[in-house]
Amino acid sequence: MTSYILIQLNGRPFNCLPNFSLKDILLYLDFELDQVVVEYNSVIIHDSILDTVLLVPGDRLEILTIVGGG
């Protein structure tokens, strides 16, 4: 049986696999890595460390999509 952890994703409860990194969850949710800003527990995370930050129960994750305009 698969176990999950509960995090807050953009203000809503979200179940994900344990030991998912920030990069893993962004890819799972089909985000373009070069077009998002990630706030993890109220801290903006640099894209160079997305694969080193592992999610744990209760984490708060905000994903903001960068949209260009003209």
Q: Which CATH class, in words, describes the domain spanning 5-65?
A: alpha beta
Q: Which pLDDT score is estimated for 1?
A: 79
CA distance 13 to 54: 17
Radius of gyration of the chain (CA): 12
Average pLDDT over residues 52-59: 97
Q: What is the mean pLDDT of residues 6-25?
A: 96
Whether the pLDDT of residue 41 is over 70: the answer is: yes
Are 39 and 62 within 8 A, CB to CB?
yes
How far is it, in rounded angstroms, from Cα 22 to Cα 54? 6
